[in-house]
Amino acid sequence: MAMDEDEIQIMPRRRRRGMYILPSAFTSINIGFGYYAITQSLQGSLVDPTHFNRAALAIGLAIPFDALDGRIARMTNTTSEFGKELDSLADVITFGVAPSILAWAWGFRTLNLLPEGTAYQQLVGLGTFISFLFLICGASRLARFNISVNPSPSNPGRPGRKYFVGMPIPAAAGSLAAVVQFFGGNPIYQWWWAVVWMVFVAALGLLMVSRWRFWSGKEINLSHRHPFQSIVLIVIVGAAVVFYHQWTLIIIALGYLSSGLWARLVYKPRRA
């Protein structure tokens, strides 16, 4: 049975509408990982630290989905205000709420098992505040990103290259998750390590709201005619993550963090 002209014209429209679902589906998966990370963080304990490990893994797995949803929307020309708002909300949940709860549950909650004392109680309370500070800094970083037009870091890089102004929230969340993964999910139960963890979480929060430049990776373009080098690099990194995830993830996370710090330390403003 042959289709008439009206049905033929409707089919591309339906296909077009269906394309809008694809980037939103990736964003929804991102939110799902964040929700799963929250539930696992709340179940983790000294007796069963695997829940912390699963929470860290979920946050790490959400990062590529966060990177892909925007690229897919641009490639299919299906960007929309709804998609942008959904993506921001997803980032707050998966890279703000989830890692802040993981940071608190893994790094400070176990201290309640130590002998009761004012010092320990104050440390747990301060750790709770620092974990909340990470969330607020992450949300502020996203809000600034959404309203900024061609933002410029306080230490500009090479002309023509695009940089993130402040550490992006997925990278900060990934750094927390990488540390938890490196220790196999075994939570902190010694007060001096809790202090170190507190400084680390606070530093990540402050880096997010800073105006320091961080590499954006936007120059990586797989749509080139010869993207072989980029593909080979991605395959090598992917294989390293699969077989040596503990060391690979911590090296990537701390390497990216150090690159932002180093770019700030060596920056020298140009004289007019």
Average pLDDT over residues 112-121: 67
pLDDT > 70? residue 109: yes
Interval 143-186: pLDDT, tens: 998 887 777 776 666 655 677 889 999 999 999 999 999 999 99
Of 61, 48, 35, give the one whose Cα is nearest residue 184: 48
pLDDT > 70? residue 264: yes
Q: For residue 256, how many C-alpha atoms fall within 13 Å in the half-sphere facing its CB?
A: 26
Q: SS3 of 24, please? A: helix
The confidence score (pLDDT) of residue 8 equals 44
Cα distance between residue 244 and residue 257, in whole Å:
20
- In the structure encoding, which two tokens stand for residue 82, read together? 């709804």
Which positions ≥6 away from 27 have C-beta within 8 Å? 65, 66, 69, 83, 86, 87, 90
Across all residues in the chain, what is the average pLDDT? 83
Which positions ≥6 away from 223 have C-beta within 8 Å? 75
Tally of CB atoms within 10 A around 252 = 18
Cα distance between residue 240 and residue 41, in whole Å:
26
Average pLDDT over residues 14-39: 82
Interval 188-236: pLDDT, tens: 988 899 999 999 999 999 999 998 888 877 666 655 555 666 677 777 8
Interval 90-101: pLDDT, tens: 999 999 999 999
pTM of the model as a whole: 0.84
Confidence of residue 272 (pLDDT cuts 50, 70, 90): very low
